[in-house]
Amino acid sequence: MVDLHSHTDASDGSDAPFELIDNALRAGVTALSITDHDTFAGYGAAKPYSSSKGLDLLCGIELSTKYMGQTIHLLGYFPGAAPAEAFGTWLLVLQEKRRDRNRRLVENLRKLGVEITLEEVEALGKTMAGRPHFATILVRKKYVKTMQEAFNKYLAEEGRAFTEREEVPLDEGIQRMREAGGIPVIAHPVRLGRRTAAEEAEWIAAAKDMGMLGLEVRHSDHDAAAVARYTALANRLGLLTTGGSDYHGTYKPDIKLGTGKHGNVNVPMEWLDRLRG
């Protein structure tokens, strides 16, 4: 079984890198990609362990980018050599921007009477500490009842503590990924939220013109109709097809490694072979 989309606790998954490898093997996954948000730390930590266990681990990442005011998730796969060093340095700059935003968010919350520190947030989220970790703390300390309430009241764009995080433009993300030897792929296109299939196809064609090389056809959020639509579109545009569960461990308990939600993910080995060229 192949799964090309998963997260460790180096970003917003619950499994430590070695736990993810163990869980993947237990689930019957033989080839896995770790695609943490904006970091290779989880992949790096898991690689020696996965080799010793005989699991085929592909280097991946999921970048958060911005295009016309919308957040677009960009998957990147590095089947050949390790990502070029400049790319890793650039990721560190992104992490520093996230950290600055988190500092401002802490300040804003404290001004609103919320007792919270950067240390607490980073203890939960490490280098990828973000708003979901803030929300978890707000719930724990009973300032709100649910994560969603934490977003609505404080953390969402309309929330009282919100402060902007500088995000990477989509075309820059694609370009840097390709320069580093990566294959950029549109993650979970169903979340683009285009109103019609025609608008969606137009958007994906535009992304291809920016240098996009693949489309995530199979994903836990994709029903059979979506899979059929994206398969046809990828074939028409000459994009590589990929797929994965987008496993986040206990944070999204209905998503299983290798098989997604209620078995809706099933990634052919040929797709991985083609990705590797």
Chain residues binding Zn ion by CB under 5 A are 62, 246
Return the residue matching tokens 């295009």.
67
Q: Which is nearer to Fe ion, 12 or 38 (CB)?
A: 12
CA distances to 107, 144, 217 from 198, rounded to whole Å, are: 44, 41, 17
Partner whose binding site includes residue 130, from Fe ion, ligand AMP, Zn ion, none (CB under 5 to 8 Å by kind): ligand AMP
Where does this chain touch ligand AMP (CB under 6 A) — which range of 52-60, 148-156, 222-230, 261-269?
148-156
- H-type alpha helices, the chain: 17-27, 41-53, 85-111, 118-125, 131-140, 147-150, 170-179, 197-209, 224-237, 269-276
* Listed residue (158, 162, 137) closest to 147, CA to CA: 137
Cβ contact 42:20 at 8 Å: yes
Site for ligand AMP contains 151 (CB under 6 A): yes
b/e sequence 179-217, b meaning 16+ C-beta within 10 Å: ebbbbbbbbbbbebeeeeeeebbebbeebbeeebbbbbb
Site for ligand AMP contains 169 (CB under 6 A): no
Q: Which is nearer to ligand AMP, 1 or 156 (CB)?
A: 156
DSSP of 140-165: HTTSSSSHHHHIIIIISTTSTT----
CA dihedral 49, 256, 27, 235 (to 10 degrees): -90
User: CB of 261: closest distance to Fe ion in angstroms?
Assistant: 15
User: CB of 114: closest distance to ligand AMP in angstroms?
Assistant: 16
Site for ligand AMP contains 156 (CB under 6 A): yes
CA–CA dist 38, 127 (Å, integer): 9
Q: Which is nearer to Fe ion, 15 or 114 (CB)?
A: 15
Partner whose binding site includes residue 151, from Fe ion, ligand AMP, Zn ion, none (CB under 5 to 8 Å by kind): ligand AMP
Residue span 164-193 as binding mask against Fe ion, x where in contact by CB under 5 A, dash where not: -----------------------x------
User: CB of 246: closest distance to Zn ion in angstroms?
Assistant: 4
Residue span 8-37 as binding mask against Fe ion, x where in contact by CB under 5 A, dash where not: ----x-------------------------
Q: Which two tokens stand for residue 183?
A: 């294959």
Nearest-5° Cα angle at 186, 125 to 97: 35
Q: Which is nearer to Fe ion, 12 or 200 (CB)?
A: 12
Q: Which is nearer to ligand AMP, 57 or 94 (CB)?
A: 94
Site for ligand AMP contains 130 (CB under 6 A): yes
Cβ contact 33:267 at 8 Å: no
Site for ligand AMP contains 25 (CB under 6 A): no
Where does this chain touch ligand AMP (CB under 6 A) — which range of 54-62, 87-95, 130-138, 256-264?
130-138
Site residues (vs ligand AMP, CB under 6 A)? 130-132, 148, 151, 156, 165
